Amino acid sequence: MFDKNHLLPGDALKRVLSAIPERQETTERLRIEECYGRILASPVVAPEDLPAFARSTVDGFAVHSSDTFGARESLPAYINVKGEVFMGVAPDFSIGKGECARIPTGGMLPPGADAVVMLEYAQTVSDDMIEVMKPVAPHENIIRRGEDVEEGMLVLTRGRRLRPQDIGALAGLGITGVDVFTKPVVALVSTGDEIVPPGTPLRPGQVRDINSFTLAGLISEHGGVPVKKGIFSDEYGVIRGAIEEALSAADMVLVSGGTSAGVKDMTSTIIDDIGKPGVLFHGVSLKPGKPMIGGVIGNTPLFGLPGHPAAAVVCFDLFILPLLERLSGLDTGKCFPRTVRARMAKSIASSAGREDHIRVALERQGDELLAVPVLGKSGLITTLVRADGMVGIPQEKLGLDAGEEVTVKLF
């Protein structure tokens, strides 16, 4: 097996990433209303100009801009009012030299007009005449046809997570459906003779399933579909059967629990027995999360997660999340992690050669945030409940000093 002491999490992750295909190809076509947060599978090219006509951005008068050149309060330009533009309809007249039309914000510019004089700079002289006190430049106070989007322009790239305004842009272009990648299905196999579901009365020696609830939430939050396969007892045949069943219908399999060395080794053996390439790492220089197992069978990644709740969450962040992003088709180039800067409230020691991830609670101190380490064994779920995020200590550092500025990855 590999050397447990010197495999860093990032290198362990690379072994798995390089053993699976570059990105997924399964797509589905959905109505845009169903696509919030989904990953675009094909680039979107504008089928038409947006807007489809020149529009006014103010309330005022559509004019030939040249008619206003040189206008000032002491020498206004006099212009004939030829008509009025109404919202949502094309004006049935055009504007010649010396002519203008009343126009509301958003109204369509009549043919001939190339700018709009704001209401504030025009005065009514008679029913069909205004005086303009200030010149307007060509295209002033209008949005030109295609100024927002020109027909044929690339609007959204493949692999983009669709945000509310992206869906708004699709609607604006008249695009009512798009292709998105299917959500990756992540099967959760919980193991442990001591684990029972939360609704079951506890007998001495038993504990309730925590991790499948935590992991299912994290998977959904990051665009996956969690499927809980159930709790299985620590027997080779039972766990192997559960993993094989899970592999048949999932894009990734997580085996959670099995905290003892014997059970860990069994999970690792089962992965190797099921198929190739099998286990790619077993044990990493990481705290919490040292007993992590990673492998691939066929094209499907498979992880053995530590049973301790805090370790499971750290391992989710370092291993499962990057895989989930890969499987979901996300282009991560434009993703910015949810982090805040904070100052350490106290010093924390760490061993060299190992990556440490400590849980911290955040407290406001004036304009700054203070990161208070939440101490406690990684087996305690309450350390995660009290914490607001995590701070990583790289392998080459011997700890963090009180007052040091750190980046906190928010939960």
Question: What residues from 73 to 132 belong to the interface with a copy of itself (CB under 8 A)?
Answer: 86-91, 104-108, 119
Window 170-199: contact mask with a copy of itself (x via CB under 8 A): xxxxxxx---------------xxxx--xx
Number of helices (H) and strands (E) in the chain: give both, helices first: 8, 28
| Closest distance to a copy of itself from the beta carbon of 257 (Å) | 9
| Closest distance to a copy of itself from the beta carbon of 11 (Å) | 21
| Closest distance to a copy of itself from the beta carbon of 328 (Å) | 18
Distances (CA, A) of 168 to 36, 192, 257, 331: 10, 48, 43, 20
The helix (run of H) or strand (run of E) holding residue 125 is: strand 122-126
CA distance 41 to 390: 32
Q: Does 50 bind a copy of itself (CB under 8 A)?
A: yes
Angle at 396 (CA atoms; ends 390, 397), nearest 5 degrees = 55
Cβ proximity to a copy of itself, 247 vs 360, nearer residue: 360
Distances (CA, A) of 117 to 22, 69, 112, 113, 291: 55, 12, 14, 11, 71
Cβ proximity to a copy of itself, 68 vs 211, nearer residue: 211
Residue selected from 84, 131, 140, 148 as contacting a copy of itself according to rule CB under 8 A: 148
Bond into 43 cis (ω within 30): no
For strand 142-143 and strand 129-132, is the pairing parallel, antiparallel, or unpaired?
A: unpaired
| Closest distance to a copy of itself from the beta carbon of 306 (Å) | 10
| Closest distance to a copy of itself from the beta carbon of 114 (Å) | 16
Q: Does 140 bind a copy of itself (CB under 8 A)?
A: no
Window 297-336: contact mask with a copy of itself (x via CB under 8 A): ----------x-x---x--------------------x-x
Residues 352-391 close enough to bind a copy of itself by CB under 8 A: 362, 369, 377, 379-382, 384-385, 388-389
CA distance 329 to 41: 8
DSSP code per residue over 330-382: --GGG----EEEEEESS-EE--TTSEEEEEEEEEEETTEEEEEE--S-TT-HH
Residues 207-266 close enough to bind a copy of itself by CB under 8 A: 207-211, 213-218, 220-221, 234, 259-263
| Closest distance to a copy of itself from the beta carbon of 331 (Å) | 13
